[in-house]
Amino acid sequence: MKRVAQVIRVRPEHLEPYLELHRNVPQPVLDTLRNCHIGNYSIHLLGDLLFGYFEYDGDDLAADMARMAADEATQAWWQLTAPCQQPVEEAAPGEWWASMEQVFLMP
């Protein structure tokens, strides 16, 4: 199992719509996440930072992420959420949610 932590900014003027969207994530989007071997997914808010965490139990994260990106329901969902988000300065070129480095895991 691979742990993935990511960060992005929420645009302050879009905070309430973003929170409202996540109160009722469409079932097809949740199904796609599960079908792409993603579990224990959560998003947390601090100020204007969104911290996302999920556990991946598949064999090819890049292929599963590409499969998720090709899903029509997920694409429609991202059209709703993307205007609410802004990549952090530390994001790599072309990276939306910036990947974070794990520095500690309780033994």
Burial class (CB in 10 A: 0-12, 13-18, 19+), 50: buried
Q: What type of residue is 107? A: P
Q: What type of residue is 14? A: H
Summarize pLDDT for 93-103 with one digit per residue, the tens. 999 999 999 99
Position 34 scores a pLDDT of 98
The dihedral through the CA atoms of 85, 90, 93, 94 has a sign that is negative
Summarize pLDDT for 71-101 with one digit per residue, the tens. 999 999 999 999 999 999 999 999 999 999 9
Domain count across the chain: 1
Say which CATH number the domain at 49 has.
Answer: 3.30.70.1090
Position 68 scores a pLDDT of 97
Summarize pLDDT for 15-40 with one digit per residue, the tens. 999 999 999 999 999 999 999 999 99
Position 3 scores a pLDDT of 97
Position 67 scores a pLDDT of 97
| Structural domain span for residue 66 | 2-99
Write out the H or E segment, with its range, that includes residue 16. helix 15-22
What mean pLDDT is reported for the chain? 97
Position 61 scores a pLDDT of 96
Position 1 scores a pLDDT of 94
- Establish if 107 belongs to a structural domain: no
- Establish if 31 belongs to a structural domain: yes
Q: Is residue 18 helix, strand or coil?
A: helix
